[in-house]
Structure 1
Amino acid sequence: MFPKDGRTTLTVDDIPKKWYNIAVDIGSPDILNPGTMKPVTHEDLAPVFCKTSVEQELDTTHRFIDIPEVVREAYAQFGRVTPLQRAYHLELYLKTPAKIYFKREDVSPTGSHKLNSAIAQAYYNKRDGTEHLTTETGAGQWGSALSLSCNYFDLDLIVFMVKVSFEQKPFRRYIMETYGGTVYPSPSSITEYGKSVLAKDPSYGGTLGTAITEAVEMAVKDPTGKTKYSLGSVANHVCMHQTVIGQELIAQLNEIDVTPDHMIACIGGGSNFAGFAFPMIHKKLHGKVDTNFLAVEPAEVPSLTKGEYRYDFGDSGCITPMFKMHTLGHDFTPNAVHAGGLRYHGMNPLVSRLYDNKTINAVSYTQEQVFQAAVTFARTEGIIPAPESSHAIRAAVDLALEAKKKNEEQTIVFNLSGHGLLDMTGYANHFKTCPQTVIEV
């Protein structure tokens, strides 16, 4: 029989009571108003975000921020605390001395970690007087999570879904519509920016940057001020909301007396990696652990490994503030990879700072390498992972194989940020085009 540390869960009473704000420990680069090139003020951001979101985005003084009880109740209803599980069968397949654990954010009702911030943002918007929200989504995980959350807190929602994902992943759109969201392919014909993009190229497949511009435009042009924008990644307050993942993980690892040598998560805009890693990075910054942190991105969208560290717009239409981040350029258009949630041109400023000061490392993989890992994981652990999450799986496998070569015992923990049950078109294409469908050992 396998040892008892194969699976561990906390109870709802152990859901974190505070979010961790890493900006207090490492500082946060100023967000700039592109008109003045001076740091943004609360008034600059007020037309875009609700009052509380603005306060949290600019907060560099409160290390821990209370999670409202109503948010914790929603976390409990929708599946927190999520399990920590050991990948025994993957270890056996790889014949590695490494121990591999994974945090299961795939078990939420919408299939990913995105609910952690969607619930918080919907609650704060409702409390602050917002009646309508707009947002963007790539693969549809964020749009699904915010649709559920807006329904829960009785808010209207319009989602601009990147057109290539809108066409590749129709069932994600149906999930959003089931929860009450209204979904448009981006670029769309209902915003001025969308119309201008379509006028230049009616077949353009869109980017997250394009979808962000449309969503922000719709929010700021509402003369009543009752429409606000909600962001699914990149922003500091979004990353902070996700730290419930890492705090739960630390408690679970303590329960089984495990300290990870490596922590791994996929990365697009940064919220998944941040939520998973920031709480343990807090411990490392204070000399309590010596864990290595690895962010994994697509080779097609390598914002950390090949992007420039500079100020750039958060959207394609240049109407957002400017963030200091690793960026491929706000006009970057990636290939239509199936990891639609990782197709953003830039990286969260806090993650970018950690990468720049070498607190974390990064690596990129091709789509073929990622799907090989996905199929390997499905055939060993029985879970079909999202293409996004499979980037982390690939890195975990490679570290485990490296430990095998060196005959070293290593403890590897990765975040399974979402399931892939609505991504089977990507799997089908992998089987058609790649003769080697799994990682061979």
Structure 2
Amino acid sequence: MRVVLNNNEIPKRWFNIIPYLPRPLDPPLDPNTGNPVDPSALLAIFPEPIVEQEVSQEEWIDIPEEVLNIYSLWRPTPLHRARKLEEYLDTPAKIYYKNESVSPPGSHKPNTAVAQAYYNKISGVKKLTTETGAGQWGSSLAFASQFFGLECEVFMVRISYNQKPFRRILMETWGAKVVPSPSNLTQSGKRFYDENPEHPGSLGIAISEAIERAVTTPNAKYSLGSVLNHVLLHQTVIGLEAKRQMEMVGEYPDIIVGCVGGGSNFAGLAFPFLKDKLTGERPNLEVIAVEPEACPTLTKGEYRYDYGDTAKLTPLIKMYTLGHDFVPPPIHAGGLRYHGDAPIVCLLYNEGLISAVAYKQREVFEAALMFARTEGIVPAPESAHAIKKVVDLALECKEKREEKTILFNLSGHGYFDLSAYDKFLRGELPDT
């Protein structure tokens, strides 16, 4: 079953969950003084409209017409009932997924890339710099930048640069310059590159390189694909659409599941529903974040202030962290290899309003293969983490004879990740 909205039903406003949080977010701190960072300090790397959204306390923020026009190339996205998967599992559970893989770059990431490119363009910016892990974010920003005539430079974590050449080609097709990170082009990257030119890299290092490049290049700004408040805000178009689609079939999820690296696709789907939990309308709603065992930020990290990047160029951010110098194993779910998580997601987890689980690589790909062979879509390795948890939940429903409604975010397709599937099928994928 496929549930679709009309083109005129794309949400016209983004939803901001901050007014509904059980307590205020801990502010970013200046590492030199220990005092909260003045939002104006962020103007060195972000344009003013983005900074305003980052600190906004407004529940609803209008989506500009220029952004809506580009959204309409692929939005609204369909909601699917995974009947073939349900039948294969012989479960009484109802499984739904929001299909964000239908965007031109193949993931949820352009929901914020288009918005950020627009706000930078109207602010007079000429060039955007960023980092990317698996390439979904980098390709989305390259896609968005070309609509607004912006240059785009992407520092791609080297292990993913090597593992996913087609993502690099896609970025270059949309006009971006792609650099394997760590590189010798920045001081942040050079110290790692000089020690080992084949250093696998990390998102923390790539972020440092991209920020350094932005602040040392005239008319350039930095763009981030996850973690910060404004990014999660832009992604709520996913959950707002999904809410309407679930209403159309007379359903409301008992459980929402999403993979988590920085937290953007998870937040995008979950936050409009979490509002109902926070207001007491749906107190029993379960929301589950799924991460890799190789980078278990929520499940094994410390809740404390830490830098968002390896070179310590960012303010200190309160989050669950494995340490800003953490270099994860080179697993194929490159988009989930960040050492920290979004402060909003971390606060919700710390308050017990969401839960988290971590899985190893091979069991994730087993679930991905099951999904591909029942539903027909090859999921991104990141999305497959959510699928693994959904399968476990559906089997629990079977054992307990419970009819629960499960909703998850298929955050992207895996057609650029077939080398990882090849390794799994050949039995060569490490169980990290």
Short-chain TM bin: over 0.9
Aligned to 1:385: 379
What does residue 409 of structure 2 align with? Answer: 415
Residue 3 (structure 1) aligns with: none
What is aligned with 1:122? 117
Distance 2:8 2:402 in 1: 37
2:33 aligns with: 36
* SS of equivalent to 2:399: helix
Quote the residue 2:422 is aligned against.
428
Q: Secondary structure at the match of 2:85?
A: helix
Distance 1:11 1:317 in 2: 46
Aligned counterparts, 1:276-295, within 5 A: 276-289=269-282, 290-295=284-289
TM-score between the two structures when normalised by the length of structure 1: 0.95
Are the equivalent residues in 2 in contact too, given 1:7–1:84 (CA < 8 A)? yes
* Structure 2 match to 1:310: 304
Partner of 2:155: 160
Name the structure 1 match of 2:55: 58
Task: Find the residue that maps to 2:137 and give its secondary structure.
Answer: helix
Q: 2:260 aligns with which of 262, 267, 273?
A: 267
1:228 corresponds to which residue? 221
Name the counterpart of 2:341. Answer: 347
Q: For 1:177 and 1:142, how far apart are their aligned partners in 2?
A: 13
Matched, 1:68 2:64: yes
Q: Is 1:400 aligned with 2:377?
A: no
> Does the aligned pair in 2 maintain the 1:365–1:391 contact within 8 Å?
yes
Does structure 2 conserve the Cα–Cα contact (< 8 Å) formed by 1:377 and 1:383?
yes
Whether contact under 8 Å (2:20, 2:279) holds in the other structure is: no
The match for 1:80 is 75
- The reply to whether residue 215 of structure 1 matches residue 179 of structure 2 is no
Name the SS of the counterpart of 1:238 in structure 2. Answer: helix
The equivalent of 1:298 in structure 2 is 292
Q: Which of 78, 82, 104 lines up with 1:109 in the alignment? A: 104
Residue identity matched to 1:241: H
Match of residue 362 from structure 1:
356
For structure 2, the residue ranges without an aligned partner over 5 or more in a row are none
Q: How far 1:434 sits from its partner (Å)?
A: 6.7
- Matches for 1:20-35 after TM superposition, within 5 Å: 20-26=15-21, 27-35=24-32
1:188 is matched with: 183
Alpha-carbon distance, 1:114 to partner: 0.1
Give, in whole Å, the separation in 2 of the partners of 1:309 and 1:19: 28
Q: Which moved more, 1:10-19 or 1:159-168?
A: 10-19
- Distance (Å, rounded) in 1 between the aligned partners of 2:46 and 2:33: 20
Runs of 4+ in structure 1 off by over 3 angstroms are none
Picking from 69, 77, 90, the partner of 1:95 is: 90
Is the counterpart of residue 49 in structure 1 residue 46 in structure 2?
yes
Q: Give the Cα–Cα distance (whole angstroms) in 1 for the partners of residues 99 and 40 of structure 2.
A: 39
Partner of 1:204: 199
Q: Report 1:321-332 matches (<5 A).
A: 321-332=315-326
Cα drift, residue 202 of structure 1: 2.3
Structure 1 residue 264: Cα displacement? 0.3
RMSD: 1.2
Question: Structure 1 residues 434 and 174, CA, compared in 2 at 3 Å: closer, same or farther?
Answer: closer
Q: Distance in 1 between matches of 2:267 and 2:36?
A: 23
Counterpart Cα distance in 1 of 2:31 and 2:127: 26
The residue identity in structure 1 corresponding to 2:305 is: Y
* Structure 1 position 243 matched with structure 2 position 236: yes
Q: CA deviation at 1:220?
A: 1.1
Distance of 2:31 and 2:214 partners within structure 1: 18
Asked whether the 8 Å contact 1:33–1:44 carries over to 2, the reply is no
- How far does the alpha carbon of each residue in 1:178-232 deviate from its partner, in whole angstroms, 9 at most, with x for none? 000000000011111111111222221100000000000011123x3x1000000
Query: Match of 1:32, SS?
Result: coil
3-state SS of paired residue (2:72): helix
The match for 2:144 is 149
Q: How many residues align?
A: 427
Quote the Cα distance in structure 2 between the aligned partners of 1:231 and 1:21: 18
C-alpha contact 1:187 1:210 (8 A) present in aligned 2: yes
- Select which of 331, 334, 357 maps to 1:337: 331
Separation in structure 1 between the aligned mates of residue 349 and residue 427 of structure 2, nearest angstrom: 34
Contact 1:368 1:434 in 2 (8 A): no
